[in-house]
């Protein structure tokens, strides 16, 4: 059948788009603003990791910076590989990608898993390298949810009830395995991703009520069964009243606020932060790297970093809004919500408006698997942009 009217126009546009991508360079068709923002955040992050570790032993500090640069290089390669691929092919492979992520989460619970900072979330690879499968579960779950919810029921623009059920079951399985580690922060991210993609897919309100009810029941079950570690319970206690034990459970929050406040407007300058140099704030190169921003670059630098993260989110939303392919739009929306929620939690816990959950700041914090997952997410956004950008 030969399409007519708007359908014919869409087919012609997509044909031209595919031809342009095939004939031209995919790299030249990337969202330059998004790419520049990510590169800028990565450069700032490298400087902050260097600053926060330079007072360590020379071998340890230099080794972390070199590993961070290496991780960024690998992450950049992953970004490029995903960006130049046709993201629509991933729709068929989404179950396999999710299955691999699930197997890795199961492996963590086996003797292959290792405990770091109280969380049994790692697989040691040797040579000082480790893998955190829960980070890879984020993009894997987004792809699966996009695949399941992209197909609308006949005669509607809503996903089929059975697909919604499968999506919730898949998300629940992944969250359950992550919570067993226990990794409360990542579980929260996965739950927000699931809720966001469900809403974007246009499910009926009753499904949202069911999701909220299950989340509340799950939280109550985790609390009643004592699945949270004592240090995780203490973090919530410190959030409610950090001044009650400033040298104990409230130490991290108190020192983070001191570090950020001491930077005032312009900051003390790179490598000149007293709190950073003295290592008063734990995990300054990972979860609390925003305290280094506040102390050494001041309020102005902190606003700049947040603005760059905002650019990433806005460009992601623009890609999602312009995408005519339902799968691509859901994937892009899920990615944006992932980055937005994790940014809000990380910045919020350093300034005392959110409890400490151990989530790194996207594109800025030191990390291996987290860096790879973030870059894969940006690669997916770029792949959607390359193949869905409007043609005149």
User: CA–CA distance from 321 to each of 5, 19, 59, 317 (Å)?
Assistant: 23, 23, 47, 6
pLDDT at position 294 is 94
Residue 11 lies in a domain: no
- pLDDT the model gives residue 392: 36
Q: Is 126 helix (H, G, I), strand (E, B) or coil?
A: strand
**Does residue 57 form part of some domain?**
yes
Q: Look at residue 149 and tell me if it is in a domain.
A: yes
Contacts by residues 23-26 (CB-CB < 8 Å, ≥ 24 positions apart): 26/83, 26/84, 26/386
Q: What is the pLDDT of residue 380?
A: 97
| DSSP conformation class of 159 | B
Is residue 12 included in any domain, yes or no?
no
Low-confidence ranges of the chain (pLDDT < 50): 1-24, 390-392
- Establish if 16 belongs to a structural domain: no
Asked if residue 295 is part of any domain, the answer here is yes
| Range(s) of the domain holding residue 181 | 29-388
- The answer to whether residue 6 sits within a structural domain is no
pLDDT of residue 148: 95
Give the integer Cα–Cα distance in Å for 327 and 387: 13
The confidence score (pLDDT) of residue 237 equals: 62
pLDDT in tens, 107-144: 998 888 888 877 788 898 877 788 999 999 999 999 99
pLDDT at 245 (0 to 100) = 58
For residue 103, what pLDDT is reported? 96
Is 221 inside a domain boundary? yes
Whether the Cβ atoms of residue 146 and residue 331 lie closer than 8 Å to each other: yes
360 contacts: CB under 8 Å, gap ≥ 6:
286, 287, 289, 342, 346, 366, 367, 370
> Which pLDDT score is estimated for 313?
98
Reported pTM: 0.87
Residue 36 DSSP SS3: helix
- Tell me the pLDDT tens digit for each residue of 300-321: 999 999 999 999 999 999 999 9
Domains identified in the chain, total number: 1
């Amino acid at each position: 059948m030969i399409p007519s009217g708007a359908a014919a126009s869409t087919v012609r546009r997509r044909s031209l788009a595919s031809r342009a991508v095939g004939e031209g360079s995919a790299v030249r068709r990337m969202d330059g603003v998004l790419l520049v923002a990510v590169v800028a955040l990565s450069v700032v992050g490298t400087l902050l990791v260097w600053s926060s570790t330079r007072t360590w032993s020379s071998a340890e500090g230099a080794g972390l910076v070199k590993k961070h640069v290496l991780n960024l290089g690998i992450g950049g390669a992953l970004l490029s590989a995903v960006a130049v691929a046709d993201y629509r092919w991933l729709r068929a492979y989404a179950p396999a990608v999710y299955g691999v992520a699930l197997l890795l989460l199961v492996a963590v619970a086996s003797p292959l898993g290792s405990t770091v900072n109280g969380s049994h979330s790692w697989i040691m690879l040797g040579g000082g390298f480790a893998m955190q499968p829960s980070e890879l579960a984020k993009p894997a779950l987004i792809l699966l949810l996009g695949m399941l919810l992209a197909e609308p029921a006949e005669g509607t623009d809503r996903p089929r009830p059975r697909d919604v059920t499968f999506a919730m079951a898949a998300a629940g399985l992944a969250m359950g395995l992550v919570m067993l580690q226990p990794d409360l922060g990542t579980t929260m991210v996965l739950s927000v991703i699931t809720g966001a993609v469900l809403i974007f897919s246009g499910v009926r309100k009753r499904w949202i009520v069911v999701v909220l009810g299950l989340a509340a029941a799950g939280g109550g079950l985790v609390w009643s069964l004592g699945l949270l570690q004592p240090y995780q319970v203490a973090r919530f206690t410190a959030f409610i009243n950090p001044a009650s034990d400033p040298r104990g459970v409230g130490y991290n929050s108190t020192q983070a606020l001191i570090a950020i406040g001491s930077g005032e407007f312009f900051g003390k300058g790179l490598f000149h932060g007293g709190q950073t140099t003295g290592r008063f704030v734990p995990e300054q190169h990972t979860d609390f790297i925003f305290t280094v921003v506040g102390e050494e670059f001041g309020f102005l630098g902190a606003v700049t970093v947040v603005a760059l993260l905002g650019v990433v989110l806005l460009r992601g939303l623009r890609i999602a809004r312009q995408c005519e392919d339902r799968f691509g739009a859901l994937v892009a929306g899920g990615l944006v919500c992932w980055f937005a929620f994790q940014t809000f939690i990380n910045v919020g816990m350093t300034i005392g408006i959110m409890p400490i959950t151990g989530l790194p700041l996207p594109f800025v914090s030191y990390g291996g698997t987290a860096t790879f997952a973030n870059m894969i997410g940006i690669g997916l956004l770029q792949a959607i942009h390359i193949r869905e950008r409007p043609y005149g």
